[in-house]
Structure 1
Amino acid sequence: MNSSLVSIILLAVSGLVLFLYAVSRLALALRHVAGDRVKGILDRFTRTVPMAILTGTVVTTLLDSSSVVIILAIALVSAGALPFRNSLGVVLGANIGTTISSQLFAFDLGQYAVVAMLPGLLMLSLSKKRQGRTAGRALFCFGLLFFSLFLIGEAAAPLKDYQGVQAWLLKLENPVRGAGTGALLTLIIQSSSATLGMVIKLAAKGLLSLPASIAVMLGAELGTCSDTLLATVGRGRPALKTGLFHLGFNIVSISLGLLLIDPFTTLVLRIAGHTDVARQIAHAHVLFNVTGVVLVAPLLPLCQRLLEAWLPNRDSAPTIAVQPA
């Protein structure tokens, strides 16, 4: 491995580290801003399936993390503050909300990141109130997200000159190989947003094709289940059922996506063929997640019954009934 390739890898990894830091700090800052109001929102606005899906979508968009929202829902279910069935709609909504990130990543805003980072740094340094510092931290990390993706893209651009790298990336067009790579990468770095951000930047630099990008995207959807499953450990059966529903929903939808990846790619090109490949990937993410939610939402009562029959609650406490919309 020559020195120039090592430099490329180190710069790309530096960008990834910055991205992961920005994601974690941004989510933390947004949770501080939202405070306990998020718990109240999840309890108040999840009485029906459509409202639960809408609430999960909005809260995930605001907190910029589907994992955080699903883990919060699991915690509330475990505490008895959120009925199990209501949490299923929140999980579906979180899958839609996470697509907002891909739409933002498709914008090439990295070179303008300082527009958000500088005011955020000033607020973080000069504000005397905690809320002001928290808002500054959120603004700074928001800009840092785009700068880190810009750094990854710039680092990856010279990889076009390495035939070995190109050959390996070309193999990702195999749906199973691409999905496996996406799932493994997401499992390692614990961020589907980071995986998708890298995919979008690599595709924008001509290193990944649309079919390969879609395959890796599908794998990232599976990899993100790991942290939500870990969140169910020791929290009782209602919380476990929420985590298993998230895993089952992703496995079924991803399996169908892999089986139909060719017609799905054709559909994406038909809808967004006039846009650049980064925007095509972002649109594919939205189309895949929204379609999955639309197909599964009417089946939530059945999913609830199957999970409750498989893992009945140990106690006999009645479950809050929710009338279907």
Structure 2
Amino acid sequence: MPYVKIGLLMLAGLVLFLFALNYLAEGLKAVSGEKMQEWLRKFTRTLVSSILVGVIVTTLLDSSSAVIIMTIALVNSRALTFRQAVGIVLGANIGTTFSSQLIAFTIGQWSGVPMAIGLGLMVLARRESFVQWGQVILGFGLLFLGLFLMEEAVEPLNQLPRVVDWMKGLADPWRGVLAGAGVTVLLQSSSATVGMSVVLAGQGLLTLGAGIAVMMGAELGTCADTLVASIGRTKAAVRTGLFHLFFNLFSILLGLLLIGPFTDLVHALSRQASAERQLANAHVLFNALGVLLVAPLAPWLATQMERWIPDSQTSRKQPVLSS
């Protein structure tokens, strides 16, 4: 019976969390209108500006998959070049870490406050813009409520030996990565996977090393959406999806090789922080270091991918933006 009760409460929190992510993204898209796509097109003239745009837009939308899929669509329509998309993909990997920092605040018990404010704006406001902001605020409240339900659900797991033993097994980096990737593909959300990892770390069920391995797996699992989105698209759009996969694979493999020193580094930088904050900081550090390592090589990598997957003769005749 404890497993059934815990499972049902965990499922309720997870479903609410996923719903809140989608609801929040829709609200932010409604607030921004077409501005997001305009920013992607206008402010991506250089690699650095492309990375910054990727960071900002992903932070606002709280979904790297949504931003990269949007980028693939713009590349497919030739509103963006492949080289512009490379910077956005790199920036999206940093921007997605904002959600883990937010989750680590563990303020789920206060979720009713933004929910009440958001609902009040949606019901009482007459201006459409206020109603849209109400949806955004309500979405944040629902997000924290879903996390709070998951926290309450997993608290008794510390007393269940089978669960504790299985969680300890995730300290094996390869097991942790596979678990994180599998859960992310199943849930179609790396934010949900990382969010659950932060919650489990806070309850003492996941060590920092195991949490980092699961987090790296989530980065791999999120590539599934973008690869599917690139199927049947132009060669430039396919290159964008593959670049996202190759970048994440490179970061994860390097992370697995250096997971011991990396975990020690996170411990040293976050010595006084809670377990939740340590894992959230590891998420930021891992993705930021990956971008710093790859960004100087991005022009060369783009050239190699253009030679490997060249544009067709017809697409070369189409006008494209300069990188």
Q: Distance in 2 between matches of 1:274 and 1:119?
A: 34
Is 2:14 aligned against 1:12? no
Q: Deviation of residue 234 (structure 1)?
A: 2.0
**Whole-angstrom CA distance in 2 between matches of 1:281 and 1:272:** 9
Task: Measure the CA separation in 1 of the matches of 2:32 and 2:221.
Answer: 27
| Aligned mates of 1:121, 1:265 — CA distance in 2 | 42
Q: Given that residues 79 and 321 in structure 2 are in contact (C-alpha distance below 8 angstroms), is that contact kept between their aligned partners in structure 1?
A: no
TM-score normalised by length of structure 2: 0.97
Aligned equivalent of 1:265: 263
Corresponding residue of 1:286: 284
**TM-aligned CA deviation for residue 134 of structure 1:** 1.8
| Pairs aligned (count) | 320
Matched position secondary structure for 2:230: coil
The 5 A counterparts of 1:154-165 are 154-165=152-163
Amino acid at match of 2:104: A
Does 2:27 match 1:29?
yes
- Whether 1:222 and 2:220 are equivalent positions in the alignment is yes
Alignment of 1:128-207 (within 5 A): 128-207=126-205
Match of 2:121 among 123, 131, 134: 123
**CA drift at 1:319:** 5.0
Give how far 1:306 is off: 1.2
| Structure 1 position 126, deviation (Å) | 2.4
**Structure 1 ranges of 4+ moved more than 3 A:** 318-321
Q: Which moved more, 1:313-322 or 1:24-33?
A: 313-322
CA–CA distance in structure 2, aligned partners of residues 32 and 119 of structure 1: 18
For residues 29-72 of structure 1, the C-alpha deviation after alignment (integer angstroms, 9 at most, x for no partner) is 10111111111111111000000000110111111111111111
Q: CA deviation at 1:147?
A: 1.2
Separation in structure 2 between the aligned mates of residue 141 and residue 43 of structure 1, nearest angstrom: 28
SS where residue 118 of structure 1 aligns?
helix
Deviation string, structure 1 residues 177-216 (Cα, Å, up to 9, x no partner): 0000000000000011011111001110111111100000
Q: TM-score of the superposition, structure 1-length normalised? A: 0.96
Q: Percent identity?
A: 51
Q: Aligned-pair distance for 1:285?
A: 0.5
1:300 counterpart residue number: 298
Residue by residue over 1:96-151, the C-alpha shift from the partner in whole angstroms, topping out at 9 and shown as x without a partner, is 10111111110011001111000101112223333222211111011111111111
Letter in 2 for 1:215: A
Moved more, 312-321 or 186-195: 312-321
1: CA distance, partners of 2:37 / 2:138: 26
Q: Give the CA deviation at 1:270.
A: 0.8
Inter-partner Cα distance in structure 2 for 1:56 and 1:109:
27
Which of 70, 75, 79 is the aligned partner of 1:81? 79
Deviation track 1:72-113 (CA, whole Å, cap 9, x = no partner) reads 111110111011100000000000101111111100110011
Structure 2's unaligned 5+ residue stretches are none
Q: 2:206 aligns with which of 205, 208, 218?
A: 208
Shift of 1:303: 1.1
Equivalents in 1 of 2:63, 2:147: separation in Å? 17
**Cα distance between partner residues in 1 of 2:227 and 2:121:** 37
SS of equivalent to 1:231: helix
Secondary structure of the corresponding residue to residue 266 of structure 2: helix
Give structure 1 stretches of 5+ with no counterpart: none
Partners of 2:285 and 2:148 in 1: CA distance: 25
Task: Supply the RMSD in Å over aligned alpha carbons.
Answer: 1.0
